[in-house]
Structure 1
Amino acid sequence: MAISTTTHLNFRGDARAALEFYQSVFGGHLTTIAYGDFGMPKDLPDADKIVFGQVTADNGFTIMAYDVPSQAPAAAAPAATTREHGMTLTGERFFVSVRGETAEEVGALWDKLTDGAHIIDKYGPSQWAPGFGMLTDRFGVTWILDVAAPYAG
């Protein structure tokens, strides 16, 4: 069983530029997927923004990032994260991402983290992974849990 944690940064339109910069600093492979790639109509303002971005380097460096949809609050005190119209809206600057190899091992972690948590996205299959969920724990930390294997559904 291999579990990894990664900082997941939340931007307001400059995720692509930030990820390209981090790749230039740390090296590695850059992955960027826009909202339009997941079905958002290409003529909407956020269609070219990043819904999933990641830099992974052979030296062990990994960082994830996305662009918060434009209708999200610019700031919140304390930061709040919600799901509306199928999009994650947040005023937070980062999440903690936990990845595992199987839906079962990640699901077991999910079950433990839900104690006293606010569920944003219930854990289950997603468009990009056989297991994905998002919650804010009882201490106010927002976690993304997913399975690293690509979803073949």
Structure 2
Amino acid sequence: MASRLNPYLVFEGDARQAMEFYKEVFGGTLELSTYAEIGGASGAPDADKIMHGMLESPSGFTLMGAGTPPGEDYSRGNAYSISLSGEDEAELRGYWEKLSAGGTVTVPLEKQMWGDVFGMCRDRFQVAWMVNISGQQG
């Protein structure tokens, strides 16, 4: 198996909802594990929180995420974004529509000076996304 690089996102109390949202966007198989399932005390306050989640999409995307670990402070950052790129316009526009719904579009998905269709948004969980559709004519 080849090495792979994938984003790992951390959420504040809404990791389950966020990972289920991304499953709706990308499809695929979602595995979620709580602290209780991984060996934490089942009666602990964080027992039902997501300790690890992994989504594997039919397109080959892997997205991992979890809730903030117990005892750590959470801070939403803006030093990251996730880029989706390729030539399948219908697929990428579909992702864009779902990701931007309920979020904030910072750059509309439209043809750019370099010739590709590109857009940027923050989804409803404040995760920054870039979508680039290459090879567009017209």
TM-score computed with the length of structure 1 as normaliser: 0.47
Structure 1 residue 7 displacement after superposition: 0.2
Aligned length, in residue pairs: 80
8 A Cα contact 1:30 1:54, kept in partner: yes
Question: CA 1:64–1:34 in 2, change beyond 3 Å: closer, same or farther?
Answer: same
Deviations 1:13-32 (A, max 9, x none): 11110010000010000000
Question: How far apart are the structure 2 equivalents of 1:64 and 1:10?
Answer: 9
Corresponding residue number in structure 2 for 1:31? 31
Structure 1 residue 69 displacement after superposition: 2.2
**Amino acid aligned to 2:74:** A
Corresponding residue number in structure 2 for 1:20? 20
Alignment of 1:1-153 (within 5 A): 2-75=2-75
Percentage of identical aligned residues: 39
Question: CA 1:44–1:93 in 2, change beyond 3 Å: closer, same or farther?
Answer: farther
8 A Cα contact 1:8 1:94, kept in partner: no
User: What's the Cα RMSD here?
Assistant: 2.3
Question: CA 1:92–1:42 in 2, change beyond 3 Å: closer, same or farther?
Answer: farther
Question: How far apart are the structure 1 equivalents of 2:37 and 2:44?
Answer: 12
- List 4+ stretches of structure 1 deviating above 2 A: 91-95
8 A Cα contact 1:32 1:50, kept in partner: yes
Question: How far apart are the structure 1 equivalents of 2:11 and 2:79?
Answer: 9
Structure 2 regions of 5+ residues with no counterpart? 81-138
Q: Which has the higher strand share?
A: 1
Structure 1 regions of 5+ residues with no counterpart? 76-90, 96-153
Structure 1 residue matching 2:9: 3-state secondary structure: strand
**Amino acid aligned to 1:69:** P
Structure 2 residue matching 1:72: 3-state secondary structure: coil
**Amino acid aligned to 1:33:** S
Structure 1 residue 92 displacement after superposition: 6.3
Structure 1 residue 40 displacement after superposition: 1.0
8 A Cα contact 2:23 2:29, kept in partner: yes
Question: How far apart are the structure 1 equivalents of 2:62 and 2:36?
Answer: 24
Deviations 1:64-87 (A, max 9, x none): 001112421233xxxxxxxxxxxx
Question: CA 1:8–1:93 in 2, change beyond 3 Å: closer, same or farther?
Answer: farther
**Amino acid aligned to 2:9:** L
**Amino acid aligned to 1:58:** P
